[in-house]
Structure 1
Amino acid sequence: MKIRIPQFLEEKDTIAITAPSFGCTTEPYISKFNTAKKTIESMGYSIKTGDTVKKSDGLGISTKPGTCAEELVEFYTDPSTKAIISAGGGEMMCETAGHISFEKLASSAPKWFMGYSDNTNFIFPLVTISHTAGIYGPCISGFGKKWEQSETDAFDILEGKTNIVRGYGKFQRPEDDTNPEDGFENYTYTLSAEKVLSSFIPDMNTLSKVQDPRQIEMEGILLGGCLDVLANLCGTRLDKVMEFMDYIGNQKIIWVLESCDANPMELRRQVWHLKNAGWFRNTAGFLVGRPLASFEQEMMGVNQYNAVTDILGDLGVPVIMDCDIGHIDPAMPLVMGACSKVKVFGNEITVEFRLS
């Protein structure tokens, strides 16, 4: 079994920015893009900006999906471009992915692609079909601020300076995610909430919440992304999960799941959908991020926790919830496709990737 790991960035390399989902055509994304570009160029890199980044004539996407796909593939196969960072998340990148032959990308030299949310549409088949690792991390606007540990972690991975990320002590509640009036150069997260991991371990065909700190470990290939996207991809021609599990043989998968738009009911349906499609039959465990729309919400008794644990309880593997993953900042950048070791003790989580 071999998952291809791209080469790490070196000084003066070119990083391409493309918009396979939303572009940077409205505020605050224009200002964030400009701030990020300035910062990254000051580090010695060249930034190549795709035409799609400045477009907004598409339906729920930067421009025509075929055009988005063409630019993304062009950058990915261009030897002069050493990494790609997505302009942003969005809603309709599934249409872009539908124009991409991931089988053909498997014959191209591997290259780092980084983004999250809607970019699951590219990273997930990049791993499962092209057998190439990608980084589930910030889009370019995420770097358009004063860098904190999560942004530094993301570039440290790109540059090969680290193969370990650790969870962060505090997080920014969704209502505190506001835009500064004086620009983004000095903007930082409002880290007002203490991060508390909710760990669940197997107990008689169910999951029991861990009350006292204990060491929980899992090892396997990181795979997943945004549940909104994964549930949509499931059953399409881009769903090659069964073939991927055959490809990795005895290796297990650590599923990384996070949610953007789903309410608790939809969140539960999405997890049920993927489980009953057979996606979770070769699982070492689950890392579940804080959900955005379902955060601290409840509908008819369904909340962000039992929406997941009730469905996964009979799999006999640990489920770690409220991880620093996804749409509530800060978020750990994760190398999807990498063989990884996860260690959890109390509210501390460490993810170590094998990148060589």
Structure 2
Amino acid sequence: MIRYPHLKEGITIGVTAPSYGVKAEYHDRLKQAGNRLKEQGYRMEFGETIWTQNKAKSAPAHVRAAEFNEMMTGEHVDMVFPPWGGELLIEILEFLDFDHFKEKWILGYSDISLLLLAVTLCTGIATAHGTNLVDLRGEFSDPTTAKWKEVLSTRMGKSVLQHSSEKYQREWSRDEPSACIFHLTESTSWKIVSGSKVNIKGRLLGGCIDVIRHLIGTPYGNVGEFQKNYIHGEPIIWFLENCELNTADLRRTLVHMKLAGWFDHCSGLLFGRSSANQSVDGYSAEDVYAELAEELKLPVLYDIDCGHVPPQMTLINGAQAVVEVSENQGTVLQFFSP
């Protein structure tokens, strides 16, 4: 069965950096985000790893793992919220104390999604793919981003509904501060490979495809065992987002996932908006999606609110979901079912 943490008012949020830390010139951003959450009644506990960054990591793997383990197994922290993603989170997996993790939300995306997926697959504890901590430093959040609190406050046996955003951010404008951090200027349009309407039901799993693909063939990426032991054969809805892959690498990765059995007993795939997806010899992302839909005989959606082109929904690894799209607008209804 899936176990769901529960976000309560006044909890202590632990901030650790299992991937990238924060360089000195950006410490103010991190402090500002922490202060915003304090204003909302949360207590903040900052780990040591968040303040350092060198050679593509916040600290050596065993140091990052030890701090994360302490937050996940101890009583002093109720939720773990990394500042942002990075590159080398995979280094810490072999040092994690999965057997002793308590039911606590872990929230993030990008490189953090590798940790989220591994924790859910190995423990049955639901994890939350959504906003980064540093992106909550604004005076307010857009409605899609702000939904993270309601989603994580959902109790076992209850459900929570999210709608596609009205607008998304075409490109990052970090030198032009906004009251809500993001500059949402482009009209959101969820797309379907074929047809104008779709309804998909299943258990959500996913993350940044650049990094979660590296779980294939490891003890931390056994999707078949997860499906048998934790969700009793229910179909999976994969949500995937591409940070840096060109279309040929995206295609190779999806074929790898298929051959590894990750798409067995799958009911559909959702792809987030991407500023990557560079075409190779005229081979586009839309070509990749169409080929996948034909091969798997499954619905494939794309340009959903997920990933590195904000804003993004808060999607729960392990939750039951009904995903509906009609006239390029979508909803995701998540059930916190065991």
User: TM-score w.r.t. structure 2 length?
Assistant: 0.93
Answer whether contact 1:21 1:89 (CA < 8 A) is retained.
yes
Question: What root-mean-square deviation, in Å, do the aligned CA atoms of Structure 1 and Structure 2 show?
Answer: 1.7
Q: Distance in 2 between matches of 1:89 and 1:143?
A: 15
Cα distance change, pair 86–188 in 1 and its aligned pair in 2 (3 A): closer
Answer whether contact 2:12 2:79 (CA < 8 A) is retained.
yes
Alignment of 1:182-221 (within 5 A): 186-200=179-193, 209-210=194-195, 213-214=196-197, 216-221=198-203
| CA deviation after TM superposition for structure 1 residue 66, in Å | 0.8
Q: Distance in 2 between matches of 1:26 and 1:253?
A: 41
CA deviations on 1:7-60 (whole Å, 9 max, x unpaired) are 2222x2100111001112254x42321221111000111100000000114x31
How many residue pairs end up in the alignment? 332
Task: Name 2:108's counterpart in structure 1.
Answer: 115
1:44 aligns with 2:41: yes
Q: Which runs of 5+ in 2 are unaligned?
A: none
| CA deviation after TM superposition for structure 1 residue 187, in Å | 4.4
| CA deviation after TM superposition for structure 1 residue 328, in Å | 0.2
Task: Name 1:325's counterpart in structure 2.
Answer: 306
1:72 aligns with 2:68: yes
Task: Name 1:264's counterpart in structure 2.
Answer: 247
Q: Distance in 2 between matches of 1:291 and 1:189?
A: 16
Q: Distance in 2 between matches of 1:124 and 1:285?
A: 18
Answer whether contact 1:218 1:343 (CA < 8 A) is retained.
yes
Amino acid of the structure 1 residue aligned with 2:151: I
Q: Distance in 2 between matches of 1:249 and 1:230?
A: 22
Answer whether contact 2:209 2:240 (CA < 8 A) is retained.
yes
Answer whether contact 1:180 1:187 (CA < 8 A) is retained.
no
Amino acid of the structure 1 residue aligned with 2:264: R
Task: Name 2:14's counterpart in structure 1.
Answer: 16
| CA deviation after TM superposition for structure 1 residue 352, in Å | 1.3
Task: Name 1:205's counterpart in structure 2.
Answer: none
1:148 aligns with 2:142: yes
Partner SS, residue 342 of structure 1: strand
Q: Which runs of 5+ in 1 are unaligned?
A: 201-208
Amino acid of the structure 1 residue aligned with 2:35: K
Answer whether contact 2:137 2:181 (CA < 8 A) is retained.
no
Partner SS, residue 61 of structure 1: coil
User: TM-score w.r.t. structure 1 length?
Assistant: 0.88
Q: Distance in 2 between matches of 1:241 and 1:4?
A: 17
Q: Distance in 1 between matches of 2:96 and 2:275?
A: 29
Task: Name 1:4's counterpart in structure 2.
Answer: 3
